[in-house]
Amino acid sequence: MLRIYQPEEAKKTILRRKPIDDYDIPESMQQNMLKFFGENLTPDQAVARIIKEVRTQGDQALKQWTLTLDGTSMTNFRISAEEIQTSINSISPEIKAALQQSIDRVRSFHQRQPISSWISNDLGGTVGQLIRPIQRVGLYIPAGTAPLPSSVIMSAVPAQVAGVKEIVLVAPPERSTGKISPLILATANMLGLTEIYSIGGAQAIAALAYGTETIKPVDKIFGPGNLFVTLAKKQVYGFVGIDNLAGPTETMVIADENAKPAWVAADLLAQAEHDLLASAILLTPSLTLAEQVGQEINLQAKKLTRTEMISSAFLNRGGAVITKNIDEAITLANEYGAEHLCLAIEDPWRWVEKITCAGGIFIGENSFEVLGDYVAGPSHVMPTSGSARFASPINVWDFIKIISLIGLDDQTVSQIAPAAAIIAQAEGLDAHASAAEIRL
């Protein structure tokens, strides 16, 4: 199942990046386009149509597209306070305790992140920055093949630490019940979230961005989703803020000859079960280890439930790359910019300084990526598709705004206004120059 590559071949295949909207569209999706839209639209065109209808028709468009795409007839999108409250009775004490441990660790981690306003008089008069939370944010929680309560925690807790007053949660209804998963609602209940809507897909993003009769628009949208959700976030960006454009999930493991093959295989399998397009990649200078990991993957996969998904993921975007040494593996990892970068190598801390591009670094075999998914502390919403080159994991700073303060005294104005006038004249903006000169 684990194909082995040389570096140059890997750069042309599993390590090659391409835009999110340039993925090959499965034939089944193309057939659905014709079925749902009556013509062969591209995903971008389909999303644009949904957004336009929600923007102009509001709740009616939401109901129509939810029925068409999700097969669910909705009369009221908002989840009642009673349903949220009683959802906690649907989960076991064991699950509740695990969720609480996750909430506590994620909150404790983000409370350590420094966010404070500052004011200085060192530049003449007063200058500084005011830190203010975003007023209203929307959290999209994907449904996928199973509910994801961890996604609620990893987005909502940093928002709460930042001081966001209004946190809106949207999630697609389950096809089997036509309702949001009780596990999602129970997690929201534990976090004190009260504004929840049963709606998903591009129509949910449009509703959050533009608002409807039922849903008040938000200031920024967070959360991963499928291709249609990602394209919708891309199309509404500018009118509303977004966190990022999430692509398929990724794990890259750098391992040496001392790594445990069974552990490395387990970590790669945990990633491959997410998605047909998930990336599970091993970089190692040891051909022996790569072969042993491949054998372990075959053995362990037989005991797992998502074998078909795992097989497809390894076929599409997974594999092992044999490098000259760990230095070359680090170089390839920096070029790739993986969402999760795991160091299963001797003295892993020695190599951390050389890593310049990754969503998160998991240092040593005990710091495995699955812990980051649930309980380590940092948010598991990390940059994908190479965006680790310029983006960061979701954190408190994503939920705040900076407002600049400028309060200058007369002496400082007399010292710096001439420079402002000179620069303005150089730019051909004489009204700017005049506004500076009139003060002199």
> Which residues participate in catalysis according to the annotation?
339-340
What is the token pair recorded at 391? 């983006």
Q: How many other C-beta atoms can be found within 10 angstroms of the C-beta atom of residue 68?
A: 15
Which residue is associated with the tokens 């089944």? 28
Rounded Cα–Cα distance for residues 217 and 207 (Å): 7
Rounded Cα–Cα distance for residues 142 and 151 (Å): 8
Contacts of 241 (CB under 8 A, 6+ apart): 134, 219, 220, 221
| First-to-last C-alpha distance (Å) of the chain | 75
C-beta separation of 79 from 180 below 8 A = yes
C-beta separation of 166 from 399 below 8 A = no
Nearest to 253 by CA among 146, 340, 166, 152: 340
Which stretches of 68-194 are assigned E, i.e. beta strand? 118-120, 126-133, 136-140, 166-171
Rounded Cα–Cα distance for residues 224 and 273 (Å): 17
